[in-house]
Amino acid sequence: MNGLFSARRWSVTLADSAALWQGFFFTLQVSLAGLAVALVVGTIFGTFSTTRSRILRGIARVYVEIYQNTPVVVQVFFMYTAGPQVIKAITGAQTITRIAPFVLGVVGVGLYHAAYVAEVIRTGIEAIPRGQMEAAQSQGFSRVQAYRYIILPQTLRIILPPLANQALNLVKNTSVLALIAGGDLMYYLQGYILCCVMYFIICFPLAMLVSWLERRAKEPGGRAGGARGEKDAGGAGAAPGTTKGEVA
Amino acid sequence: MEIFTADNVTFMLQGLVNTIVIAAASIVLSILVGTVLALVKTYCTGKLRPLAWLVSAYIELFRCTPNLLWILIFRFTLKGSGVAISIAVFTTFTSAVMAEIVRGGLNAIPRGQFEAARSQGFGFFGMMWHIVLPQAFRHIVPALFSQCTTVIKDTSYLRGIDVHEFMRNSAVVMGQAVTLPQILLLYGFVFLTYFVLNFCISLAVRAYQRRLVAA
């Protein structure tokens, strides 16, 4: 703990805080772009694993298992080390181009959390009783329309809390980039403390959002899931318990 | 040049042993600490309320800041072997997660169980130990196990402070890999090892859940 209260070290660190804030905004950008990747890819694989096609279900399963059971650190380092060489081998370029940290962060963290998002989406869709789809089809909805207008809106209220939780974990995991880029700002403990504060600024509102969404999802017949007397949807609201196992 | 020499493989497997030791020790410790935290947060009312607030603050602090930062902070403030520091820091932030998991289990116990225990003359600790906690833990086994895989995966962050765990040792061997096939093979080995370790845990969870449904 030496020098924690040293005025000099605090003043040096605070004088450098512009660079820390720069990192703060970089983290914010990587997180937002990574979240977009995770949501898009995750939704695709999540819906894949609820379709009737064996092949699509298999693809989704393999993706989820591989990404959930290996560390994001290894995944990002793999892209960092092997990525440029693979690109070189494929395109036949003469020189090796390095992948920018921003891209590494967005793709690495995005694809990793996409696997978790996919599982959240899958449990959300499976929580909707089968009868809903049959009823929709009997009313002349196509499968795609039934998903769009009947299934997904109900799913939303179940999946929002775990999704927000994934967003929070995603922000934390962007720190994997520090292993690659190296933190030049970290002379003193003070730098770490400021860094903690900055992450906290991003993550604490997200954590509050998670608990608010959880509370709302528990209310029977809430506003999120459409208005038509969904006592069973309220009961299925207990289903997030099944996704709780996927806290990253 | 050959990559998978006996020396290299033993070196990486030594790292794997450290990874498993760190993960196992911090999982056990953090379940213990986490249970205490969860009990405090859930049942400290009245005059003891501030204790519950303190625990909430602890949980939110570690939930909202990256593990890597705490790994670095511990590394630069504590003295000791890499493995000991790793266990300390992993226990510290995993306890916060475990506390939330255990709290979920506690909340799932019906009120009647408490009333019944009280009516049978159980004190608070007797009630917790014999009635409430065993049921709570049965509820949260899946979440606990998936937290185990998370801890195993997150130990790879320890590479940042040069603890001799699996990822770090593999990265050292990686220094010898020159050609693309060598790099791919080596990463394949690393991925596969983590995968087998974690996938076995996932399978165990699924088997448990199936048994739970069947029962």
Structural domains of chain A in order of their starting residue, each with its CATH number? 7-246 (1.10.3720.10)
**Per-residue pLDDT at B194:** 93
Q: How far is A70 from chain B (nearest CA, A)?
A: 5
In chain B, which residues have their Cβ closer than 8 Å to the Cβ of A247? 97, 101, 143, 146-147, 150
Give the residue with greater pLDDT, A244 vs B10: B10
**Per-residue pLDDT at B23:** 93
Q: Which residue of A has its CA nearest to B76?
A: A189
Single-letter amino acid, residue B155: T
pLDDT single digits (tens) B6-23: 888 888 899 899 999 999
| ipTM entry | 0.86
pLDDT band (50, 70, 90) for residue B172: confident
In chain B, which residues have their Cβ closer than 8 Å to the Cβ of A28? none
Q: Which residue of B has its CA nearest to A182?
A: B160
Q: Which residue of A has its CA nearest to B179?
A: A85
pLDDT band (50, 70, 90) for residue A4: low
Single-letter amino acid, residue A125: I
Q: In this complex, which of B65, B154, B160 lies closest to A179 when CB atoms are compared?
A: B160
Rounded Cα gap, residues A156 and A240, in angstroms: 11
- Residue A70 in this model has a pLDDT that exceeds 60: yes
Mean pLDDT of chain B: 88
Of A71-80, A137-146, A182-191, B173-182, the one with minimum mean pLDDT is: A182-191
- Residue A8 in this model has a pLDDT that exceeds 70: yes
pLDDT single digits (tens) B27-64: 999 999 999 999 998 888 888 888 889 999 999 999 88
Rounded Cα gap, residues A151 and A154, in angstroms: 6
**Residue whose token pair is 């890999």:** B177
**Tokens of residue A167, six digits:** 């967003």
DSSP string, B23-61: HHHHHHHHHHHHHHHHHHHHH--GGGHHHHHHHHHHHHH
Q: How far is B133 from chain A (nearest CA, A)?
A: 18
pLDDT band (50, 70, 90) for residue A5: low
Rounded Cα gap, residues B12 and B25, in angstroms: 20
Single-letter amino acid, residue A110: G
**Per-residue pLDDT at B57:** 92
Mean pLDDT of chain A: 79
In chain A, which residues have their Cβ closer than 8 Å to the Cβ of B153? 69-73
**Residue of A20, A68, A246 to mutate, testing the B interface (most B Cβ within 10 Å of its Cβ):** A68
A1 touching B (Cβ < 8 Å): yes
In chain A, which residues have their Cβ closer than 8 Å to the Cβ of B154? 71
DSSP string, A138-207: HTT--HHHHIIIIIHHHHHHHHHHHHHHHHHHHHHHTTHHHHHH--TT-SSHHHHHHHHHHHHHHHHHHH
Q: In this complex, which of A81, A179, A192 lies closest to B174 when CB atoms are compared?
A: A81
For the purposes of burial, counting CB atoms within 10 Å of the CB of B94, is it exposed (0-12), middle (13-18) or buried (19 or more)? buried
Q: How far apart are the first and last CA of chain A?
A: 30
**Per-residue pLDDT at A103:** 87
Rounded Cα gap, residues A78 and A87, in angstroms: 13
* Pairwise CB contact (< 8 Å): B194 & A74: yes
Q: How many CA atoms lie within 13 A of A160 on its CB side?
A: 20
- Residue A245 in this model has a pLDDT that exceeds 50: no
Rounded Cα gap, residues B61 and B44, in angstroms: 20
* Pairwise CB contact (< 8 Å): B68 & A85: no
- Residue A239 in this model has a pLDDT that exceeds 60: no
Q: In this complex, which of B69, B156, B202 lies closest to A69 when CB atoms are compared?
A: B202
Q: How far is A204 from chain B (nearest CA, A)?
A: 6
Q: How far is B118 from chain A (nearest CA, A)?
A: 28
Q: In this complex, which of A65, A73, A203 lies closest to B64 when CB atoms are compared?
A: A203
pLDDT single digits (tens) A15-58: 777 777 877 888 888 889 999 999 999 999 998 988 888 999 99
Tell me the longest C-alpha to C-alpha distance in chain B.
Answer: 74
Of A131-145, A187-201, B39-53, the one with minimum mean pLDDT is: A187-201
**Per-residue pLDDT at A220:** 62
**Per-residue pLDDT at A16:** 72
Give the residue with greater pLDDT, B70 vs A94: B70
Give the residue with greater pLDDT, A221 vs A89: A89
Q: In this complex, which of B146, B152, B183 lies closest to A246 when CB atoms are compared?
A: B146
pLDDT single digits (tens) B59-84: 999 988 888 888 988 888 888 888 99
In chain A, which residues have their Cβ closer than 8 Å to the Cβ of B61? 200
Rounded Cα gap, residues A161 and A210, in angstroms: 5
DSSP string, A62-116: HHHHHHHSS-HHHHHHHHHHHHHHHHHHHHT-SSPPPPPHHHHHHHHHHHHHHHH
Contact A161, A127 (CB under 8 A): no
Contact B96, B62 (CB under 8 A): yes
* Pairwise CB contact (< 8 Å): A82 & B146: no
Q: How far is A174 from chain B (nearest CA, A)?
A: 9
The domain locations on chain B are: 6-214
Nearest of A197, A4, A183 to residue B161 by alpha carbon: A183
Virtual CA dihedral for A190, A196, A201, A205, nearest 10 degrees? -160
| Class of domain B6-214 (CATH, top level) | mainly alpha
Q: How far is A226 from chain B (nearest CA, A)?
A: 27
**Per-residue pLDDT at A93:** 75
Task: State CA A165 to chain mean position distance.
Answer: 8
